C-alpha cells in the first residue's frame, strides 16, 4: 500500500469544527496530512508527521479541501459570446437564449459533447475543484437528455436530470404535453444515469404545478431533488423545494420573508444546519449584470449556504470557484471564511456528501494547495491563479 505525505502546510482548512480556532473552517497551523488508498489516513502537526513512500512539501503554503461545485451545466455545444456582448450593451437576460444552445447541442456528435465536458472538468480541476455536479438540460428530447447524462456520468457521480430546463420550441404551445414527456419516457431514459432531478422553476420556464409533478415522479424513481428557484423574480420555487425535502434550492436571488423562514425552518435533526441548502451562484448575477442574492440575510437566519459556479454557456460561463468566492465576499457580504466554507463544505452539504468538502481521517483525499499563505488570499487576490497543486482521490493532478 503506497502512502503520500503532504508536509509543511502553513495553514490547513479542515472544515472540522473544534480544532480550537473558533472558525467553521477548523484551521490548523503547521500541519501535515497522510494519504493512503485515496483517503486521508492521518492529520496532525507537521512535527509528528509519519514516514511515507512519497512526500509533497507545501513549503508553508495554505491548503484546503478541493472545491465542491454543486451546480454546473457542462454538456452543451457552441457558445453565446455574442449574447453576452449584447447584454453588456444593455439587453436584459430572460433565459430565452437557452434554446440557442439546445439547437447546437442536438446537432453535435457524442464525441464533440464529450470533448467539451472533459475540457471543462479539466479547467475546473486546475482551479481547485475536485467534485462537480453536471446537469443535462440542453437536449430536451428523450434521446438527447439520456446521452447528455450518459456522457456526464463518465466523469462525475453527481449527475442531474434537467429535462425541465425550458420548454423546447416544438412544444411552445403545449407545455403540458412536454411535462408529460419529461415525467414519462424522458425520466425513464435519463434515470439510470442520474442521481438528481432538477427543474428551472421560473416565470417563462416551469410553474409550481409543473415543477411539483416532475420532482415528485423523479423522487419516486429514486432521484434526489434540487431546484432552480427565485433567480429572475419572486416565486414559489424555494418553498416548493423545502416542502419536497430538496437537498438544495439554487439561485435564491429574489426571496421574501416566508422563503427565508421556510429555509431556516428546514433544520437538520442533528443540529448541523438546514436540510435544504441555499446555493448561491454569483457568477450568474455577474454575467447578467443583475443584483446579487442577499447572502447575509440567509446566513443571519441560520440557513446553510453553498457557493457554486452555475457554469453554462449563457448566463455564467465561468468555471472558477475562486472567482465565485471573491464575488461572494466583495458583492454579497460573506466573510472570506464563510465563502470558503460555502465553496467546500457547503457544496458537499448541497450534494448530501460527507466524504468531500472536509479533511479528516476517512474522507476522500481531495486537497487544493494554494500559492498563498492563507485562504484569505482567495478573495483578497481575485483573478490571480493561486492554485498550486490539486490532489484528487490522493492523486496529484497538476502543478501550475
Smallest distance from Zn ion to CB 337, Å:
26
Helical H segments across 25-71, by residue range = none
Q: Shortest Cβ contact with Zn ion: which residue? A: 310
| Cα(115)–Cα(196) distance, integer angstroms | 23
Residue (24 or 237) nearer to Zn ion, CB: 237
Residue (259 or 310) nearer to Zn ion, CB: 310
Smallest distance from Zn ion to CB 7, Å:
39
Residue (160 or 397) nearer to Zn ion, CB: 160
Owner of C-alpha cell 412536454 = 178
Helical H segments across the chain, by residue range = 81-88, 98-107, 110-126, 142-153, 175-181, 187-190, 208-220, 237-243, 257-265, 282-288, 295-300, 321-332, 336-341, 347-350, 377-380
Stated length of the chain: 400
Q: Collect all residues with Cβ–Cβ distance below 8 Å to 241 and sequence separation of at least 6.
A: 225, 226, 227, 229, 248, 249, 276
Smallest distance from Zn ion to CB 169, Å:
20
Smallest distance from Zn ion to CB 198, Å:
8
Smallest distance from Zn ion to CB 311, Å:
9
Residue (158 or 310) nearer to Zn ion, CB: 310
- Buried (b) or exposed (e) across 183-196, using 16+ Cβ within 10 A? beebbebbbebbbb
- Cα 391 to the chain's mean position, in Å? 18
Residue (70 or 266) nearer to Zn ion, CB: 70
Residue (74 or 213) nearer to Zn ion, CB: 74
Burial of 71 per CB tally in 10 Å (0-12, 13-18, 19+): buried
Q: Collect all residues with Cβ–Cβ distance below 8 Å to 182 and sequence separation of at least 6.
A: 163, 164, 214
Cβ atoms of residues 177 and 183 within 8 Å: no
Residue ranges binding Zn ion (CB under 5 A): 310
Residue (79 or 371) nearer to Zn ion, CB: 79
Cβ atoms of residues 390 and 128 within 8 Å: yes
Smallest distance from Zn ion to CB 162, Å:
8
Name the pairing type of β-strands 39-45 and 27-36: antiparallel
- Asked whether the CA dihedral 197, 286, 290, 326 is positive or negative, the reply is positive
Residue (310 or 366) nearer to Zn ion, CB: 310
Smallest distance from Zn ion to CB 334, Å:
20
Smallest distance from Zn ion to CB 203, Å:
16
Amino acid at each position: 500500500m503506497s502512502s503520500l505525505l503532504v508536509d509543511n502546510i502553513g495553514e490547513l482548512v479542515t472544515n472540522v469544527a473544534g480544532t480550537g480556532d473558533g472558525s467553521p473552517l477548523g484551521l490548523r497551523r503547521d500541519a501535515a496530512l497522510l494519504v493512503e488508498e485515496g483517503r486521508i489516513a492521518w492529520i496532525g502537526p507537521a512535527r509528528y508527521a509519519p514516514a511515507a513512500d512519497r512526500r509533497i512539501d507545501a513549503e508553508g503554503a495554505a491548503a484546503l479541501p478541493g472545491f465542491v461545485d454543486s451546480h454546473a451545466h457542462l454538456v452543451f455545444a457552441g457558445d453565446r459570446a455574442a449574447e453576452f456582448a449584447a447584454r453588456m450593451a444593455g439587453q436584459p437576460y430572460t433565459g430565452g437564449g437557452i434554446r440557442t444552445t439546445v439547437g447546437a447541442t442536438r446537432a453535435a456528435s457524442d464525441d464533440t459533447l464529450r470533448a467539451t465536458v472533459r475540457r471543462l472538468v479539466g479547467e475546473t480541476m486546475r482551479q481547485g475543484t475536485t467534485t462537480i455536479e453536471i446537469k443535462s438540460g440542453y437536449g430536451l428530447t428523450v434521446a438527447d437528455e439520456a446521452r447528455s447524462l450518459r456522457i456526464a456520468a463518465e466523469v462525475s457521480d453527481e449527475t442531474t436530470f434537467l429535462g425541465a430546463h425550458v420548454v423546447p420550441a416544438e412544444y411552445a404551445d403545449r407545455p403540458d404535453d412536454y411535462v408529460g414527456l419529461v415525467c414519462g419516457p424522458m425520466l425513464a431514459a435519463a434515470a439510470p444515469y442520474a442521481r438528481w432531478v432538477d427543474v428551472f422553476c421560473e416565470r417563462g420556464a416551469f410553474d409550481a404545478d409543473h415543477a411539483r409533478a416532475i420532482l415528485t415522479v423523479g423522487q419516486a424513481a429514486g432521484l434526489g431533488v434540487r431546484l432552480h428557484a427565485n433567480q429572475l423574480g419572486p416565486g414559489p420555487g424555494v418553498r416548493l423545494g423545502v416542502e419536497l425535502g430538496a437537498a438544495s434550492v439554487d439561485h435564491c436571488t429574489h426571496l421574501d420573508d416566508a422563503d427565508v423562514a421556510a429555509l431556516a425552518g428546514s433544520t437538520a435533526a442533528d443540529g448541523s444546519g438546514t436540510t435544504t441548502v441555499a446555493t448561491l451562484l454569483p457568477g450568474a448575477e455577474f454575467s447578467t449584470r443583475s443584483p446579487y442574492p442577499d447572502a447575509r440575510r440567509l446566513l443571519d437566519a441560520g440557513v446553510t449556504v453553498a457557493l457554486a459556479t452555475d457554469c453554462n454557456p449563457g448566463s455564467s460561463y465561468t468555471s472558477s470557484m475562486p472567482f465565485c468566492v471573491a464575488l461572494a465576499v466583495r458583492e454579497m457580504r460573506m466573510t472570506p471564511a464563510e465563502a470558503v466554507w460555502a465553496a467546500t463544505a457547503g457544496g458537499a452539504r448541497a450534494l448530501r456528501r460527507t466524504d468531500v468538502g472536509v479533511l479528516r481521517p476517512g474522507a476522500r483525499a481531495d486537497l487544493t494547495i494554494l500559492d498563498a499563505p492563507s485562504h484569505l488570499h482567495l478573495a483578497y487576490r481575485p483573478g490571480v491563479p493561486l492554485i498550486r497543486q490539486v490532489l484528487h482521490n490522493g492523486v496529484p493532478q497538476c502543478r501550475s
